[in-house]
Amino acid sequence: MPPPNNNHFCTCSIIGTGSYVPDRVLTNDDLSKIVDTNDEWITTRTGIKERRIAAEGQATSDMASEAARRALAAAGITAADIDLIIVATVTPDMFFPSTACIVQKKIEAWNAVCFDISAACSGFLYALQTARHYINTGNRKTALIIGAEKLSSLINWKDRNTCVLFGDGAGAVVVQRMDDDAKEAPGRILSAVMGCDGSLTDLLKVPGGASAIPVTPENVDQRLNTIHMEGRETFKHAVTRMCQASEQALSMAGLTAADIKMVIPHQANLRIISAIAERLGIPEERTFVNLQKYGNTSAATIPVALDEANRSGAIQRGDVVLLVAFGGGFTWASTVLVW
Ligand code: UT7
């Protein structure tokens, strides 16, 4: 039986999950008509079969708000109960105001303070841990944590190295402080770690479109406002850091890999997920994978997968669940919870 909490935190639980993906499906075969690629290459190198693409005019906040409404319904609370909204995204609606402020308006959560977090694919777990700190101080009680991305807005559709990898979507959780006597509350977070290595910023980035390289016609012609990635290097760091972060969070929780019922990893590449499972000694059937349907949706992968795992019954009350992410920065993070 895992300890209720050994991390000097109050008991803080996920009480509802929700997700949203756009209707439009873009298959590998569709992509093979746009760039020099094929289903066989994408499937064997990544595991991805299709991804969702937001409708014209559909912004990150639209997807985030729908995921949020579903999480609120699952938690059985109203938007008025929320006192903190954090949106993790690298594809905000605009530079400012934050996407979290726009979500507040759309779902009418008027009692919340709102801000965004930029930690790329680790963003959701960064946001979850940030909310946990706010809740732990007593400053906030009920937080809405959203990972939402419209990566189709950052894709260079002429670059086969990257355009096949990404998709759009949003996932959300409601996190709440539990009463002092609720040490065994379902959904409780046992431990969390976060890390960053800013010396490797150049390996995965969108170089242009902001203050360093502002938007000009020339910069747009050179596609500087789209995703650039050194895939192989990123792959290696992802495996190493996700394993380390997993082991640290497990150790902090007083657990080992043998205690894990389900790993819900960032969904970037099936080969990365398999490598992590193998190194940690976790059977593949205990890893949750949905990237074949959605590709890499950055900050949204973990909350979308968590919601699907929850609703499908792949995770059950009492299961120890490990969440682990890696992304641009480089950033990484891991969280252990008891469902
Ligand atoms: O979410 C944040 C973290 N992101 C990640 O963790 C992603 C990490 N990286 C990866 O997942 C993989 O590195 C990729 C899937 C991006 C690439 O797979 P890879 O096995 O590392 O392939 P590669 O980049 O080394 O390319 C191998 C070959 C190259 O051809 P040559 O030079 O060997 O002739 C590429 O030009 O595959 C070619 N290639 C493609 N061929 C068909 C690259 N993309 C494609 C494509 N279709 N879409």
Each residue's pLDDT tens digit, 207-257: 999 999 999 999 999 999 999 999 999 999 999 999 999 999 999 999 999
């209707």: which residue's tokens? 23
* Of 225, 269, 296, 310, catalytic: 296
Question: Hey, how many other C-beta atoms are within 10 angstroms of the C-beta on 258?
Answer: 10
Residue 269 Cβ contacting ligand 1 at under 6 Å: yes
Q: Best mutation site among 40, 125, 157, 161 for ligand 1, i.e. most ligand atoms within 8 A of its Cβ?
A: 161
Level-2 CATH architecture, domain 12-177 = 3-Layer(aba) Sandwich (3.40)
Q: Which pLDDT score, from 0 to 100, does residue 7 have?
A: 56
**Is there a catalytic annotation at residue 296?**
yes
Q: Which pLDDT score, from 0 to 100, does residue 1 have?
A: 43
Which residues in the chain show pLDDT less than 50? 1-6
| Contact call for residues 301 and 291 (beta carbons, < 8 A) | yes
Q: Which pLDDT score, from 0 to 100, does residue 9 have?
A: 86
Q: Best mutation site among 235, 243, 330 for ligand 1, i.e. most ligand atoms within 8 A of its Cβ?
A: 235
Q: Which pLDDT score, from 0 to 100, does residue 208 have?
A: 97
Q: Which pLDDT score, from 0 to 100, does residue 5 have?
A: 46
Nearest CA to ligand 1 atom 47: 37
* Of 5, 114, 266, 269, catalytic: 266
In angstroms, what is the span from residue 77 Cα to ligand 1's centroid? 44
Q: State whether the Cα torsion 76-80-86-92 is positive or negative.
A: positive
**Which residue, 147, 152, 146, is CA-closest to 167?**
152
In angstroms, what is the span from residue 297 Cα to ligand 1's centroid? 17
| Contact call for residues 190 and 5 (beta carbons, < 8 A) | yes
Q: Do domains 12-177 and 188-338 have the same CATH topology?
A: yes
Q: Is 281 exposed, middle or buried (0-12, 13-18, 19+ CB in 10 A)?
A: exposed
Residue 151 Cβ contacting ligand 1 at under 6 Å: no
Q: Best mutation site among 232, 266, 304 for ligand 1, i.e. most ligand atoms within 8 A of its Cβ?
A: 232
Residue 294 Cβ contacting ligand 1 at under 6 Å: no
Nearest CA to ligand 1 atom 28: 161
CA distance 110 to 127: 20
| Contact call for residues 331 and 119 (beta carbons, < 8 A) | yes
| SS3 sequence of the chain | CCCCCCCCCCCEEEEEEEEECCCEEEEHHHHHCCCCCCHHHHHHHHCCCEEEECCCCCCHHHHHHHHHHHHHHHHCCCHHHCCEEEEECCCCCCCCCCHHHHHHHHHCCCCCEEEEECCHHHHHHHHHHHHHHHHHCCCCCEEEEEEEEEHHHCCCCCCHHHHCCECEEEEEEEEEECCCCCCCCCCEEEEEEEEECHHHHHHEECCCCCCCCCCCHHHHHCCCCCCEECHHHHHHHHHHHHHHHHHHHHHHCCCCHHHCCEEEECCCCHHHHHHHHHHHCCCHHHECCCHHHHCECHHHHHHHHHHHHHHHCCCCCCCEEEEEEEECCCEEEEEEEEC
Provide the residue ranges of all domains of the chain, joining segments of one domain with +.
Answer: 12-177, 188-338
Provide the CATH topology of domain 188-338.
Answer: Peroxisomal Thiolase; Chain A, domain 1 (3.40.47)
């969280």: which residue's tokens? 335
